[in-house]
């Protein structure tokens, strides 16, 4: 709390005159009439708190890794670009190498708030049991190792899968989509195998769709985008030995390949886990904007749209 306060004082200033309050945060000015309603004030306060949280390095890492690029559902506007990704399964040897380095950086998982295996659809990986065993062996102190799945394949997973989840304390996180799935049956199978099942948000909530448009010319304000982006410093992926602040940047290759674009990803968009000297260096890196932030149109994003299957049209991401 003390750190938060001193950091806070360095980045946050308020100018107050008779008619207006101007708040300067990280060099960006927010101008408001002096007499704001309570609800306006509350909104402003929440907005500022979220921006401060985004730019404060966390104490533990929330990490995820795509073990499969493609998916068996293909949602419109997927932020991993899975509907247009080529079929690809993460290679076991490179996974093992990265997880061992992660084990070193996080003191065997103690400094991992959570570690999720996802995709695409992770249950498509033919060697998922091996990946789960490697993960738990390298990260014995990680409290929260999970698979994030759309649940389509869960009823047909073999006994080996359920035994592996139980023996390695793996939680299965289900995102509920508006498709026909017997969740009750899945819950029964999991309970019979003593495996923990959880649902994203709320058990009753069905997934809607969102649109995260890109600007292929990269003319957006990177810092403003980062501060207003829900993904920034929140969904933190590990990909091929590098860590990014969000899922969009490391998956852009799928967009580039499918539509023949060249939105550039540079070495400054991620941090090399083999070169980083400490976990602190990584936590600080992911709390800052990256050059790729200028390729997102954060102001034009929309949420809560009706969910649907992708038609692979470029307009889903533009």
For residue 90, give Cα distances in angstroms to 68, 96, 120, 121, 123.
6, 10, 11, 12, 12
Q: CB of residue 114 vs ligand SF4: minimum separation in angstroms?
A: 17
Q: CA 205, 198, 49, 214: dihedral to nearest 10 degrees?
A: -70
Contact between 239 and ligand SF4 by CB under 6 A: the answer reads no
Q: CB of residue 166 vs ligand SF4: minimum separation in angstroms?
A: 25
Alpha helix locations (H) across the chain? 2-11, 38-55, 92-105, 128-138, 159-167, 183-192, 222-228, 252-259, 279-285
Q: 97 or 234, CB closer to ligand SF4?
A: 234
Length of the chain: 318
Q: CB of residue 265 vs ligand SF4: minimum separation in angstroms?
A: 10
Among candidates 213, 208, 204, which has minimal Cα distance to 306? 208
CA-to-CA distance for 11 and 6, rounded, in angstroms?
9
Q: CB of residue 252 vs ligand SF4: minimum separation in angstroms?
A: 9
Cα 65 to the chain's mean position, in Å?
9
Contact between 293 and ligand SF4 by CB under 6 A: the answer reads yes
Q: CB of residue 109 vs ligand SF4: minimum separation in angstroms?
A: 25
Contacting ligand SF4 within 172-231 (CB under 6 A): 225-226, 229, 231
Among 116, 245, 251, 270, binds ligand SF4 (CB under 6 A): 245
In terms of Cβ atoms closer than 10 Å to its own Cβ (0-12, 13-18, 19+), residue 304 is exposed
Contact between 76 and ligand SF4 by CB under 6 A: the answer reads no
Query: Count residues contacting ligand SF4 (CB under 6 A)?
Result: 26
Contact between 292 and ligand SF4 by CB under 6 A: the answer reads yes
Give the range of 17-25, 51-59, 74-82, 104-112 binding ligand SF4 by CB under 6 A: 74-82
Q: CB of residue 120 vs ligand SF4: minimum separation in angstroms?
A: 5
CA-to-CA distance for 216 and 76, rounded, in angstroms?
19
3-state secondary structure of 181: coil
Residues 6+ apart with CB under 8 A from 71: 78, 80, 82, 83, 85, 119, 120, 121, 124, 150
Contacting ligand SF4 within 43-72 (CB under 6 A): 71
Q: CB of residue 74 vs ligand SF4: minimum separation in angstroms?
A: 5
Phi then psi for residue 171, to 5 deg, are: -90, 140
Contact between 80 and ligand SF4 by CB under 6 A: the answer reads yes
Contact between 120 and ligand SF4 by CB under 6 A: the answer reads yes
Among 25, 69, 82, 154, binds ligand SF4 (CB under 6 A): 82
Which chain residues interact with ligand SF4 by CB under 6 A?
71, 73-75, 78, 80, 82-83, 119-121, 150, 225-226, 229, 231-232, 245-246, 248-249, 290, 292-293, 296, 298
């Amino acid at each position: 709390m003390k750190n938060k306060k001193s950091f806070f004082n360095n980045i946050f200033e308020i100018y107050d005159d008779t008619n207006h309050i101007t708040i300067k945060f990280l060099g960006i000015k927010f101008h408001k009439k002096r007499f704001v309603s309570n609800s306006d004030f509350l909104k402003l306060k929440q907005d500022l708190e979220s921006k401060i949280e985004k730019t404060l390095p966390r104490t533990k890492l929330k990490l995820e890794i795509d073990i499969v690029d493609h998916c068996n559902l293909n949602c419109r506007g997927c932020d991993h670009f899975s509907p247009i990704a080529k079929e690809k399964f993460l290679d076991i040897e490179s996974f093992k190498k990265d997880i061992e380095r992660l084990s070193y950086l996080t003191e065997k998982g103690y400094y991992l708030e959570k570690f999720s295996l996802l995709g695409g659809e992770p249950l498509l990986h033919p060697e998922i049991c091996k990946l789960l065993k490697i993960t738990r062996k390298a990260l014995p102190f990680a409290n929260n190792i999970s698979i994030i799945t759309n649940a389509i394949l869960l009823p047909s997973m073999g006994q080996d899968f359920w035994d592996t989840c139980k023996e390695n304390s793996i939680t299965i996180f289900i995102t509920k989509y508006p498709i026909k799935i017997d969740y009750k049956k899945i819950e029964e199978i999991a309970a019979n195998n003593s495996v923990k099942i959880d649902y994203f948000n709320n058990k009753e909530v069905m997934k809607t769709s969102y649109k995260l448009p890109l600007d292929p010319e990269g003319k957006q304000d990177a810092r403003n985008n980062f501060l207003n982006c829900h993904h920034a410093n929140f969904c933190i992926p590990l990909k091929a030995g590098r860590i990014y602040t969000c899922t969009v940047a490391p998956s852009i290759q799928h967009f580039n390949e499918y539509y023949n674009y060249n939105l550039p990803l540079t070495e400054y968009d991620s941090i090399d886990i083999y070169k980083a000297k400490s976990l602190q260096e990584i936590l600080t890196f992911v709390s800052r904007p990256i050059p790729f932030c200028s390729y997102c149109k954060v102001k034009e994003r929309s949420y809560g749209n009706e969910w649907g299957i992708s038609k692979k049209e470029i307009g889903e991401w533009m």
